Amino acid sequence: MTSTVGVPAGQSTRTGRRFSLSWLGVVPFFAYVGLFLLLPTGLVVIQAFGTPEGQPTLSNIRALGESYVLTAFWRSIQLSFATAAIGAIFGALLAYLVVSGPADGLLRRTVTAVAGVLAQFGGVTLAFAFMVSVGNQGLVTLLLQDTGISVSGGWLYELSGLIVVYLYFQIPLMVLVFLPALDGVKPQWREATESLGGSTWAYWRHVAAPLLAPPFMGAFLLLFANAFAAYATAAALISQGGIIIPLQIRAAMTSETVLGQENVAKALALGMVIVVAVAMALYSWMQRRSARWLQ
Amino acid sequence: MTESLTRAGVEVRLEGLRREYGAVTALDGLDLTIEPGEFIALLGPSGCGKTTALRLLAGLEDADGGRVVVGGKDVTGLPTNKRDMGMVFQAYSLFPHMTARQNVAFGLRLRKVGEAERNRRAGEMLELVGLSAQADRYAHQMSGGQQQRVALARALAIQPTVLLLDEPLSALDAKVRASLRDEIRRVQLEVGITTLFVTHDQEEALAVADRVGVMNAGRLEQLGAPTEVYGQPATPFVAEFVGLSNRLPATVSGSKADVLGASLPTVAASVSGPGVALVRPEAVDLVAVDSAGSDDPLTGSIVAVSFLGAVTRITVDLGTHGKVLAQMPTSQAAGFSTGDRARLTFRPAPILVVKA
């Protein structure tokens, strides 16, 4: 007969895991992500390397080197960088203003509520709002023209116009993303710096700036990815051509003059996926780094 | 202990300090003198003004009236970073992106001390608080107690004239709190620095301070040695706030009080005539009594026996005079149990008698 040392008779030595059904609750989420994010991404990647008939080819990828594609990528990067930089700076300043006030004050409640709405305000509605106010036939444009000032709303349909319009949702997004980081900065750190002989400048230079730099850069990358991937606002404003990559993809998919470009569109989308994935990976790394500091 | 860490303490005087927040008076003309090298604990409930007093001394807030004098120099108008005071906060004050050594050396860095020298002194301070082995750890890699010891080392590294401790133990668990409390006192004695310690925990205050100041509603109710504050409370508030007190009917005549037939000395602040005597449980002794139905007002029935480790607390019901707590060493309380009859006797320590 064998015996198990240290285990009273009659007790099982098995400590096996109990089967849990709690994971079932997340199945709808993962099913949704799989069906509408992972599957389309996978198809884009595969079809970027194939002809419409399904034959393998690198010609779609080679199209990424065409000058019009590189120009569109460069404009997309310019647009994303400019709106991320301006959005990050002004959003951070606004968020700082908010956390400087009372935690449950009217300013904070108002700004966070408005930012929550405006951060999701992109698309046709936003484009329409700008068109009817400062577009070619916009109210403000016409009023200025009536007073004898020679203005045109044409700028709205160029890169500079997209920058202004995108800031409408980029700045509020920055406020929402950066507020938790600012909330994590403890007032004791400033007081400790002062009691150790440091000035306000010393506090910002040695304490606040190093602590806030990772979340700030992370938020900048998130804004960059957000602008880079945005489509509906630009599409509503600019109906022809492809000055940025999302519009270039639209042109490739729907062009009635150059047919058979669907898989080139997928190669362009693959390029976007790579840029956004790199930005989001860096964002995630920076968030993780600062999370343990600014809890 | 390295010679460079010790320094002569300075005198600190708070003169008529006032601070108001809207309609609320947080500090109502506080006068307090801390002798050079002395360790004073300000004790009181939340909102009594003790933290405000410390923050005014640190320069973290501006006084509405009064003066702060440190080492004979009026520093009332000086900003915090010019006051040369080390401060330990309640919690979470270590810079999370710096190691323990960098935290401790930070004040020296601000003073433009060379890297080698500041690392040497930071190492010395970490040794003082017993954390040399944790020098390269970040705050999130240390326990709460270790973090507070680093904060203490950081505050002392700049060799401040005054050390301010703002409830530095309140976020810690009981065991760590007790050991760190003794650690703080040891370090303070070694360094010889004038120290103001703010706490709401009476045990902490009584255990470490040279003198304890009990605050209430923005005023200092009593300032004295721990034994004096505990044994001879000057006001009803102090008697109620510091330790437990039995409330017994008494009549004061001269410097004596008649408490249920027993004659006890009174403290100077007592009322004369009829009043309520505040008697500490440990000033009450019990004698076992056999007979039931005695009309002696000091005799009653034991209704509860609470074992508290080294001491035991016994509740005696005196009938119309209410219940009285007696606290004694557990070995002495072994003969008493619930339902027994017992007679109260009082130790001849001075008691406070307040208005009924």
Q: Are residues B148 and B205 in the same domain?
A: yes
| Number of Cβ pairs < 8 A linking chain A and chain B | 73
d(CA B68, CA B49): 16
Within-domain flag for B278:
yes
**Mutation target among B89, B90, B121, B163 for the A interface, most CBs of A within 10 A:** B89
Q: Is A184 on the interface with B (CB under 8 A)?
A: no
pLDDT of residue B294: 66
Q: Are residues B29 and B156 in the same domain?
A: yes
Q: Is A211 on the interface with B (CB under 8 A)?
A: yes
Q: Are residues B50 and B176 in the same domain?
A: yes
pLDDT of residue B233: 86
Which residue among A196, A199, A207 sits closest to B158, beta carbon to beta carbon?
A196
| pLDDT tens digit sequence for B313-339 | 999 999 888 999 999 999 999 889 999
Which residue among B85, B95, B111 sits closest to A195, beta carbon to beta carbon?
B85
- pLDDT category of residue B293 using cuts at 50, 70 and 90: low
Expressed in angstroms, the distance from the first to the final Cα of chain A is 57
Tens of pLDDT along chain A (295 residues) come to 334 444 444 444 455 566 678 888 899 999 999 999 999 999 988 988 988 888 888 988 998 898 989 999 999 999 999 999 999 999 999 999 999 988 888 999 999 999 999 998 888 889 999 999 998 888 999 999 999 888 888 888 889 999 999 999 999 999 999 999 999 999 999 999 999 999 999 999 999 999 999 999 999 999 999 999 999 999 998 877 778 999 999 988 887 666 667 888 899 999 999 999 999 899 888 888 777 777 6
For residue B266, the 8-state DSSP code is: B
pLDDT of residue A285: 87
Q: Are residues B282 and B318 in the same domain?
A: yes
pLDDT of residue A11: 47
Q: Are residues B190 and B42 in the same domain?
A: yes
Within-domain flag for B241:
no
Within-domain flag for B237:
no
Domain count, chain B: 2
Q: Is B111 on the interface with A (CB under 8 A)?
A: yes
Q: Are residues B295 and B189 in the same domain?
A: no
Contact: B60, A189; criterion CB under 8 Å: no
- Closest Cα of chain A to B313: distance in Å? 41
Q: Are residues B50 and B143 in the same domain?
A: yes
Dihedral sign, Cα of residue B38, residue B242, residue B14, residue B82: positive
pLDDT of residue A10: 44
Q: Are residues B273 and B309 in the same domain?
A: yes
Within-domain flag for B80:
yes
Q: Are residues B129 and B272 in the same domain?
A: no
Q: Is A102 on the interface with B (CB under 8 A)?
A: no
Cα distances (Å, whole numbers) of residue B257 to A91, B262, B284:
71, 8, 15
B95 chain-A contacts, CB cut-off 8 A: 189, 192, 207, 211
CA angle B108, B110, B111 (to 5 degrees): 60
Within-domain flag for B203:
yes
Q: Is B154 on the interface with A (CB under 8 A)?
A: yes
Within-domain flag for B144:
yes
Contact: B158, A197; criterion CB under 8 Å: yes
* Sole residue written with tokens 């700045």: A171
Tokens of A116: 């929550």
Q: Are residues B226 and B272 in the same domain?
A: no
Q: Residue B221 corresponds to which amino acid?
A: E
pLDDT at B180 over 50: yes
pLDDT at B118 over 80: yes
Contact: A197, B106; criterion CB under 8 Å: no
pLDDT at B230 over 60: yes
pLDDT at B268 over 90: no
The architecture of the domain spanning A49-291 is: Orthogonal Bundle (1.10)
**Domain parsing of chain A, residue ranges:** 49-291
**Cβ contacts of B330-335, under 8 Å, gap ≥ 24:** B333/B305, B335/B288
DSSP assignment of A190-227 = HHHHHHTT--HHHHIIIIIHHHHHHHHHHHHHHHHHHH
CATH for B296: 2.40.50.100
pLDDT of residue B6: 57
Within-domain flag for B236:
no
Chain CA centroid to CA A281, Å: 12
A199: closest chain B residue by CA: B81
What integer best gives the mean pLDDT of chain B? 91
d(CA A252, CA A246): 10
CATH for B111: 3.40.50.300
Q: Are residues B147 and B43 in the same domain?
A: yes
pTM of the model: 0.80
Q: Is A294 on the interface with B (CB under 8 A)?
A: yes
pLDDT at B3 over 70: no
Whether B212 contacts B232, CB under 8 Å: no
Q: Is B185 on the interface with A (CB under 8 A)?
A: no
Within-domain flag for B41:
yes
Which residue among B81, B109, B111 sits closest to A194, beta carbon to beta carbon?
B81
d(CA B104, CA B152): 9
Q: Are residues B88 and B177 in the same domain?
A: yes
Whether B219 contacts B239, CB under 8 Å: no
Of the candidates A44, A73, A43, the one whose C-alpha atom is nearest the C-alpha of residue A265 is A44
d(CA A77, CA B139): 39
Domain that holds residue B342: 250-354
pLDDT of residue A8: 46
